[in-house]
Structure 1
Amino acid sequence: MIKALFIRGMLYYDGVSAVEYEWIKALKGRVSYDYALLDPDKSVPEKEAAVKELGCQIYPLRYESSSSLASHKNRERVLRDFLAQRHYDVVHIDTDLLSRYDVAKVAREAGVKKVIIHSHNAMRDLHGIQKIPLVAKLERHLIGKYATDLAACSKEAAKWLFSSKDQAKVRIIHNGIDRAQYTFSKERRQNLRASLGISDDTLVLGNIGRLAEQKNQLFLLDIFKEVTKLTKAKLILIGSGDKEAEIRSKIAKEELTDQVILVKATNQVPDYLFAMDVFVMPSLYEGLPMTLLEAQTSGLPCVISDVISAEMDFPGLIKRVKLTTSPAEWAKVVTDTANKSTFDRKQEAQVLTKIGYDNQESAEQVYQMYVGESK
């Protein structure tokens, strides 16, 4: 039995937590997983409970972070003490942060044989000293130095986190999901729409993700405002984050309170996807967004920004629009896409395995990385 440790900031209703859950479930009996959380107070109890039910131990690691330098030093000290008391065969670091090289460094110094840095996003904003090109270059170099293995959910995510000289070493392991969970159900669609008071003739737009600048929901509200000029519509926004207050304020200002349904992070994601008619994702950047994969598996046509990777497109379900395009033009694409949708939503789930994003396949690739030689 391989003993593996995920080192994360927190467990949340995000794509990475969902992917890890699938790996834990699929590899049960071959890999024993634990979690070390560096920002544990932001975790969601339901997510912690879910992995505990699968046998994972969760260890909250707390440290002072009054400055960037202090954060690095204190994080290293706390993690070093933790790893000195326990044995792990694998440390698996799912991240999009350049600064996580220090976690890999400590794990290597603690004698962990397999230390993986796994990139799950692309084009993350740089902050503070990392805005200096030489600093970012150095941190990418240090990631390659201290990690024994590099992995990424997409080519774009690999290019973002790892240096150009390390690209050949990166394993592309696509995020996988449970196909059965997202196979369309007309009955569940009707039940949820009825519970939300949504009539059959209402066009329902949807978006799932952190309420954050990256996800661009403020611009989505501009798009939705234009959609309401064209047809009877509602918008379902699922998530929470630092832009929530600003989003709520804009909803009120634009007099959209009765038409926008805000939902905190939820375990009912499949039902909400079934209830939607079009998934709209005008993100400023993404790695390989799990919510987009889930939406397509549920048979939803998706209108997304042109910066999002095409690696996991289902044939005929994706329409890309430039971020510089006006909200009115976005709205026209959204309504046209909804009006032209004539496919069988239930059948779309079959595409998941064909394009290589099935959870079982993804988990097997992770296992082979654990037992195989480092590149």
Structure 2
Amino acid sequence: MNTINLRSIFPENTDVNIVKFAGVLIFAAILLVVPLIIALVFPLIKKKLNSDKKIYLYAFSSGFFIMLATIGFIKEGLENAIDGADRYIEINRINNHNVSFGIVIPIMTGGIILGIAISYLVKYVFISRFNKVLSKDKKASILVHDHGHGDHKHKDKHPDFIFNQSDNIEVASKVINSEKTSQKVKIVALVLLLTHRVFVGLLFGWSINQLIEGSTSNLTWAFIISFWLHLIPEELVFYYRLREAGYSRWKSFTFSVLGLSILIPFMIIGVYGANFIESLWWLRSLLYTAIGGIFLFNSLVEFFPEFYHVHFIKQKKWHYTLLFLFAGIILGVFILSFHMH
């Protein structure tokens, strides 16, 4: 599929910095179509998802995210690492091509470790701090409490207090919805709703700059469509949990757009810092692989527990769940097959 020709839509004498900024706004608008459709169309079809549909949504998302991680981002990182290593060997006139293994392996394993480490940091360390903030807030302290037994006291940590993204939204909604909750707690709660969009924003910005400069870019319509598809289940979960928490259609829409808009500042950084990113080919490979690691973490830790328990309840429902899981895998392979160099 052909690369998008972004430069051609602007007059020839347009300042390049204006083109870069406009390019970010154009792609940001394209990305915001997803929550807009969800906010305006899906409520007209069904106001809330029942438990079965949520399970199928998580199963489909898990399958699609695994493919997006493995044959999408991780594969992209591997190809970039191999190409970069080959160029390094050629430029430095190294006769032993086995040196490429010593270059590629640390980049790929380092990227996966980075992605998983960031996921753990957000899930456990940050959430632990969030619980401490909640315990100090008069209104929110009901969510984290101490149990006293005479002189012996211990804090109930509630390991399943925030177990997945849905719980993040539900708890954050309770905190945000309280007028008496401090602004600090509200900000922390909002940050909890934001996910792995920093690296994606940087790479999107770099790709937009490649389109403007006329260089080869991976930002094709197939890539955008695959990105849309990964956003749809994520935004569906996000939107419907906010609706269940009591938010109106327009407030849910606003929070959804704000959560997605975190991409924009990092896209701006990426498009104006593209020359720096371009000079560090290993950094791009590391970022691609790290994103893959984050998606794998989300699939296996966030989404998988949401539907695996069905196996112990109803065999028929489990078979339907597996169908949605493999439907996500198949669709992921189908869409990413169009993402050619």
TM above 0.5, yes or no, is no
Identify, as 1 or 2, the structure richer in strand: 1
**TM-score, structure 1 length as denominator?**
0.26
**TM-score, structure 2 length as denominator?**
0.28
Identify, as 1 or 2, the structure richer in helix: 2
Relative contact order, higher structure (CA 8 A, sep 6+):
2
